[in-house]
Structure 1
Amino acid sequence: MSEPFVVMKPSELRKMMIDTFKEVLKDTEEPKPKEKEETIPMPELVKSRRYGCRNTVAKYRAEIMAEDDNQSIVVKRGSRYYFDPVKFDDWFMKRKKINEEKLKVDPRMR
């Protein structure tokens, strides 16, 4: 019996070789490091003066932690609290809008 052989165009052969190399390289690639979690310590958040004084930020922290223990806005590492600035800002703005809506209903709530 004779050995079977395949007839291909050079462009098809080239494409097949490139695909094979890509598969091999994909298996050997090092995994990309995950993006560093962008958390900032509470004193840095207080220094921004955007959310109020230290006691106000501590009050917000307590509210967030009371709402849900599995939240990712505030994280405690050691004795320090770290905030995810993007998620905290979203939470803060939602809280602010809710408060504005309450004031529209009853302005005496100031």
Structure 2
Amino acid sequence: MVDVKSANGGLVVTAFWEAKAGEADAVLDILKRFLPQAQREPGVEAFQIHQSLTEPAKFFFYEVFRDEAAFGAHQQTEHFKTLIQGEALPRLAKRERAQHRFV
């Protein structure tokens, strides 16, 4: 759980994914392999991925990083490059990301 008081300098990233038709199960499998690795990264304060109950092809990510440098390091990890860029992104119909800060 994120301690909001200590995470005030942190970077929050949200993402919405929608898998292409017939790809939801493959994306889910990739994310199940990716998630524990992302959660163990040193600059990650919180990292959760959710799958829609009513639209299983849709996924929501909520990520809290110590700072922008930690987010940058996250995108350079081998598991991000292999599983997300290499395997998951080609299976997506839609991907939206936004960055936020605590207020």
Q: Which has the higher strand share?
A: 2
Q: Which has the higher contact order (CA 8 A, sep 6+)?
A: 2
Q: Please say which structure displays the higher CA radius of gyration.
A: 1
TM over 0.5: no
- TM-score, normalized by length of structure 2? 0.30
- TM-score, normalized by length of structure 1? 0.29
